[in-house]
Amino acid sequence: MKISDKISDHRTLSFEIFPPKGDLPLDEAYRVAAAVAETKPDWISVTYSAGGSGSTGNTVPVAQRIEEVLDVTALAHLTCMGATRADIDDRMSQLKAAGIANVLALRGDPRPDVKVMDYVHASDLIRHLRSAWPELCIGAACYPEGHIESATEKESMEATYAKQEEGADFLVTQLFFDNEDFYRFRERCLRYRIKLPIIAGIMPFTSVKQIQRMAFNCGASIPAKVVKRLVQAGSDPLDQAKAGMEYACEQLVDLAENGVDGIHVYSMNRPQVAQSARAALLGCGYLSN
């Protein structure tokens, strides 16, 4: 089923998992997908990692398993950094053969050893996908705090607008730790004539190290209230992860109360994250069952 149909029907809840790297067995990913599927999400997205980690080949079988065996809609991520048009067409043929109707079209992160080939920006990929596969449901990334490479807010917003104009059906945000950033972004979208549904992406922090990595990788700011939670949690990694999940649940409830189009939780292969998110959203009435 198309994700755009789900979004226009109700406020959605979805989760993200990542497939194993290289030749590692798929069993663990299947186990994680099955456990996440038990929380009855609207869809499960499966990341795609071009180059380095070599997990490109594993996105399709994991997404196919989610659709065919678990009977849950899958959203397959697809990046175009370093890809030729033939590469994209080949990956798309695999996805179509696997029965995948939903793709998150991304550029991918730049790497010194990967040369730009036929696509410079995600919007170039979206243009190609929309014309070659008109029926495909296409999601795209957006950045409440601006993309890390964008010099100005305007640049980041114009790139988001281009995704809409090239045919994206919905947007999923980069993670953010302060909901006010998301609410301001929603207002900015209106000013930039971006009308696509915006799915808010939330990642529970798990440790000081992880949150620092996130801040440097994607430019997410760490508000003082998060720092306080981490300090109060102390040095035990379990306590830090518990504080992260509690904080994320507060973000989810606040988003639910502020009329979000949908919520995507970066569950990072931790089914208990999906369970806690679902419980929080049931508790506040965002989900009905």
Residue by residue, what is the 3-state secondary structure of 110-178? CCCCCCCCCCCCHHHHHHHHHHHCCCCEEEEEECCCCCCCCCCHHHHHHHHHHHHHHCCCEEEECCCCC
Asked if 16 is an active-site residue, the reply is yes
Residue 102 binds ligand FAD (CB under 6 A): no
Residue 109 binds ligand FAD (CB under 6 A): yes
Sole binder of ligand FAD in the list 88, 159, 198, 200 (CB under 6 A): 159
Residue 251 binds ligand FAD (CB under 6 A): no
Residue 256 binds ligand FAD (CB under 6 A): no
Residue 44 binds ligand FAD (CB under 6 A): no
Sole binder of ligand FAD in the list 19, 82, 108, 262 (CB under 6 A): 108
Residue 117 binds ligand FAD (CB under 6 A): no
Look up residue 164 and give its two tokens: 């809409």
Look up residue 68 and give its two tokens: 């065919």
Location of structure tokens 């989610």: 66
Quote the CA–CA distance of 33 and 64 in Å, as a whole number: 11
Q: With contact defined as beta carbons under 8 Å apart, do 66 and 59 qualify?
A: no
- Choice between 109 and 118, CB closer to ligand FAD: 109
Task: Point out which residues bind ligand FAD (CB under 6 A).
Answer: 47-49, 77, 79, 104, 106-109, 121-123, 141, 147, 149-150, 155-156, 159, 162, 172, 174, 201
Catalytic residues: 16
